[in-house]
Amino acid sequence: MKKKLEQLKSLLHEITDLNHIIAILGWDQQTYMPEKGAAERGSQIETVTRIAHLKYTSDELADLVEELMNQVNNMDPDSDEACLIRKTHHNLVKQKKVSTEWVSEFARVTTVAQSVWEKARANSNFKMYQPHLEKIVSMRRDYAEFFAPYEHIYDPMLDDYEPGMKTTETMAIFNVLRPRLIQLIQEIGNHTQVDDSFLHQNYDEPRQWDFGVDVLNHMGFDWKRGRQDRTAHPFTNTFAMDDVRITTRFMPDYFPSALFSSVHEGGHALYELGFARNLARTPLADGASMAVHESQSRLWENLVARSLPFWKFFYPRLQRVFPAQLSGVDVKSFYQGINRVQPSLIRVESDEATYSLHIMLRLELEIAMLKGEIAVKDIPEAWNERMQTYLGITPPDDALGVLQDIHWAFGGIGYFPTYALGNVISGQIWQKINSDIPDLDQQMEKGKFSGLLTWLRENIHRYGAKYEPQDLVYRVTGSKITPEPYLNYLEKKYGQIYSL
């Protein structure tokens, strides 16, 4: 048994190394790669992806996993070994159903599509990007067919990001979330709007960078194990247990963009840096799911960094960095300004109350494209119609509308719901944290976040991908994923800000 486990880990180490090489190639593409390198980079990623898939679907690994699965019921179900066997089996079953030809072709197609998306977005020209998205949607339909019969065409893709979750479960959560969010937004719209004009000034980029680094330092980000770079669309990538990269983007006339991008990606990185050492170079050295991952980034970005206790500590420091812009603004006004609720065009810049509506819009469009209910060429129009329906605004062009996100370009159909699910999970976790750390607000007011990080490390981070998302959330909070705590948090917070 022990020998078989060592053989399994040895094979998984090779596959994990290959996946990290793919991640390095992708990170470089979005940060430093010259524009004309996209085509050959696509071939490079295609080659390494094909090798990784062949190794994961090899008879050697399949036979080994089958033999170990026969013994897993005799093991402690929560042991690292039992969890590793089950996780590998889950991944192997999925990988075996998908052809190596599809995997390698998809890697090439999406690598090129990302490069085209950047140009199309810069020129606000959806037609430039359209044929690439059509190919991706077509290939995603083919991917779903590898798993037929399925309950819902979206299920195989959702499972890639949320193991064990079904589309019907997700829609049920969203059906509770949607009406209360809309009601909250309407109530806010009937009250006096808060002022955030002080945020829309020129903020020197180097000083923005330095302040963001200061915040990341206080969060506990380890610069010996990670770094931060600039990109068009912020993301986090992991190359090893001690090599986690985050990125941010700057808007010279809107201070919150870079700061909250850094905090958001910093939250992802802290999760990645918190996995137990013995999980390294295996499928367990990963987030439980993308929603759990998003719960970590959204928790730090919103429940921590948009809170009043956070700014009672950081605001005097920020005022010293930008005295001309903020000397006449008190901390309460600043806090209200960064939490202003107003329907906006850009998802990543949207407030907490409207954010999840952006996600629901994208989910509906993804399903409609997969089912053939909306042709890809008609997506910009459908996007604009839903933006008007959900948020009461219409994008003036494609760059501010359908082209704003990179996810479809890298093939991430199935990814978007995890953002709203992450919001929901963050609310559940936050409720539990405040129960376990009753003086958390006082700690944050003093700039102390080690207690919070320790709690997250102990209760979530160290487990990596040992448990499926619903199981992990239940273990941590005593409940499966439910929107009630998050909705209660939003209604209380914005009730106070807007005197509802």
The catalytic residue positions are 265
Sequence-separated (6 or more) residues with CB below 8 Å from residue 497: 194, 336, 339
Pairing outcome for strands 236-240 and 243-248: antiparallel
Strand, coil or helix: 204: coil
**What six digits make up the tokens of 14?**
């090779």
Side-chain-facing half-sphere of 358: CA atoms under 13 Å = 26
Furthest CA-CA distance within the chain: 69
- What Rg, from alpha-carbon coordinates, does the chain have? 22
Question: What b/e string do you get for 188-217 counting C-beta neighbours within 10 Å, with b at 16 or more?
Answer: beeeeebebebbeeebeeeebbebbeebbe
Place of tokens 């669309």: 233
* Ramachandran assignment for 437, one of left (phi > 0), alpha (psi -120 to 50 degrees), beta (any other): beta
**Distance, CA of 487 to CA of 485 (rounded, Å):** 6
Cβ-contact 105, 139 below 8 angstroms: yes
CA distances (Å), 430 to each of 31, 265, 331, 435, 482, in order? 33, 18, 23, 9, 13
Tell me which residue of 493, 184, 174, 188 sits closest to 359, measured CA to CA: 174
DSSP code at position 36: G
The residue count of the chain comes to 500
Sequence-separated (6 or more) residues with CB below 8 Å from residue 301: 260, 263, 264, 267
Phi and psi at 291, nearest 5°, equal -65, -40
CA distances (Å), 477 to each of 116, 284, 352, 482, 485, in order? 43, 21, 22, 10, 11
Tell me which residue of 233, 229, 231 sits closest to 404, measured CA to CA: 233
End-to-end CA distance of the chain: 62
